[in-house]
Structure 1
Amino acid sequence: MQLTGKITPENLMSLEAYSKWRKLHKGEVIAHRKLRSVQLGEHLNLQFESETTIRYQIQEMLRIEKIFEEEGIQSEIEAYAPLVPDGGNWKATMMIEYIDVNERKRELARLIGVEDRMFVEVEGYERVYAIADEDLDRENEQKTSAVHFVRFEFTPAMRAAIKAGAAVKLGCDHTHYPAHLQIPAETLASLAGDLK
């Protein structure tokens, strides 16, 4: 999988080429995803996306749906490519995870607005709150969604501090889900690579 900085139909693999590539490299992509996954408390997981994770997602969708026509390929790119960080931010898929169906229903009602209370705090700087669900609203008056897409925008000084090794916290200050943790060093090193 060649990283180019921009996902286009021309630089995606054909279904046949991807099938061969996948057999050899699926484990590497899963390890990359795991490295970029941060569990916040018991029920919130943030999967920080990258060009690698999004290319893989698009290729998987094309494979599963057997999409090979230009229009379908373009549609998948338009759905997922906005989740690739652009050098000034981190983007993540945020999942609210409760195994018990009744507990999930109850908690999704209590956690309305949780996506807007997610933050990243770079050592020495103010908190950066998530910009959530830019593609469509994922909550209503009764409940929030179990999946949100969030973006954290950093100033040039924050980006420089992260790249220089500053500690970074991930947190949530929602009334019903107060939690924070320091992003583990290995994960932070991977995320720092997203910044310019």
Structure 2
Amino acid sequence: MQLTGKITPETLMSLEAYTKWRKVHKPEVIAHRKLRSVQLGEHINVQFESETTIRYQIQEMLRIEKVFEEEGILQEIEAYAPLVPDGSNWKATMMIEYTDINERKRELAKLIGVEDRMFVEVEGHGRVYAIADEDLDRETDEKTSAVHFVRFELKPDMCAAVKAGAGVKMGCDHTHYPSHIDIAPDTLASLAGDLK
């Protein structure tokens, strides 16, 4: 999978080429995704996206749905490409995970607005709160969604600090889910690569 900085139909593999590539490289992509995942408390998993993860997601959708016509390919790109970070931000899929269905229903009702209370904090700088669900509203008056898409927009001095090795905390200050964690150095090194 060649990273080009922009996902277009021309930069994607054909279904045949991808099937061959996938057999060899799937473990690498899974390891990359795992490296870029931050577990916040027991029930929130934040997976920071990259061109690699999104390119893989698009190729997987095309493979599963057997899409090879340009219109369908463009629809998949349009759906997923906005999740690729663009130099001044981190973009992530935030999953609220409860295995018990009744507990999940109860907790999602308590966690309305949790996506807006997610933050990153670069050492020496203030908190940057998530801009959540720009594609569509993912909550109702009764509950929040188990999946949200969040973006953390960093100022140039924050980007420079991260690239220079500053630590970063991730947290949530929602009343029903107060939690924070230092992002692990290897994960942070991968995230620093997203910044210009």
* TM-score for both structures, normalised by structure 2: 1.00
How far, CA to CA, are the matches of 1:40 and 1:154 in structure 2? 20
Q: Which residue of 2 aligns with 1:60?
A: 60
1:66-105 paired onto structure 2 within 5 Å: 66-105=66-105
The letter for the 2-side match of 1:51 is E
The letter for the 2-side match of 1:144 is T
How far, CA to CA, are the matches of 1:18 and 1:83 in structure 2? 21
How far, CA to CA, are the matches of 2:134 and 2:176 in structure 1? 23
Q: Which residue of 2 aligns with 1:22?
A: 22
Q: Which residue of 1 aligns with 2:122?
A: 122
Q: Which residue of 2 aligns with 1:190?
A: 190
Query: 1:86 deviation in Å?
Result: 0.1
Displacement over 4 Å in runs of 4+:
none
Q: Deviations over 1:24-64 (max 9, x none)?
A: 10000000000000000000000000000000000000000
How far, CA to CA, are the matches of 1:143 and 1:166 in structure 2? 36
Q: Which residue of 1 aligns with 2:142?
A: 142
Query: 1:70 deviation in Å?
Result: 0.5
**Residue 32 (1) aligns with residue 32 (2):** yes
The letter for the 1-side match of 2:9 is P
How far, CA to CA, are the matches of 2:124 and 2:37 in structure 1? 24
Q: Deviations over 1:82-119 (max 9, x none)?
A: 00000000000000000000000000000000000000
The letter for the 1-side match of 2:184 is P
How far, CA to CA, are the matches of 1:72 and 1:124 in structure 2? 45
Identity of aligned residues (%): 84
**Gap runs ≥5 in structure 1:** none
Q: Number of matched residues?
A: 196
The letter for the 2-side match of 1:89 is N
**Gap runs ≥5 in structure 2:** none
How far, CA to CA, are the matches of 1:185 and 1:125 in structure 2? 18
Q: Which residue of 2 aligns with 1:110?
A: 110
* TM-score for both structures, normalised by structure 1: 1.00
Query: 1:174 deviation in Å?
Result: 0.1
How far, CA to CA, are the matches of 2:180 and 2:17 in structure 1? 42
Query: 1:194 deviation in Å?
Result: 0.2
**Residue 164 (1) aligns with residue 164 (2):** yes
Query: 1:130 deviation in Å?
Result: 0.1
SS in 1 for 2:120: strand
How far, CA to CA, are the matches of 2:97 and 2:145 in structure 1? 11
